[in-house]
Amino acid sequence: MLLEHQTFTETLRTVFHVTEELERRKGAGDLPDTDHAHIKGDLVRVYRNISLQWVDYMKYLKKNYPYLFSLAMRTNPFDQEASGIVRK
Per-residue pLDDT of the chain (88 residues; tens, 9 = 90+): 445 578 888 999 999 999 999 999 988 778 999 999 999 999 999 999 999 999 999 999 999 999 999 999 999 998 898 899 988 7
Task: Classify residue 79: in a domain, yes or no.
Answer: no
Render 71-85 in DSSP notation, one character per residue.
HHHHT-TT-TT--SS
Task: Classify residue 80: in a domain, yes or no.
Answer: no
Full residue range of the structural domain in which residue 48 is found: 2-74
How wide is the angle at C-alpha 11 spanned by C-alphas 60 and 30, nearest 5°?
140
Question: Structural domain tally of the chain?
Answer: 1
Task: Classify residue 81: in a domain, yes or no.
Answer: no
Task: Classify residue 86: in a domain, yes or no.
Answer: no
What's the confidence (pLDDT) of residue 13? 95
Listed in sequence order, the DSSP H helices in 24-84 are: 33-64, 66-74
**Other residues' Cβ atoms within 10 Å of the Cβ of residue 17:** 13
pLDDT tens per residue, range 26-46: 887 789 999 999 999 999 999
- Start-to-end CA span in the chain (Å): 42
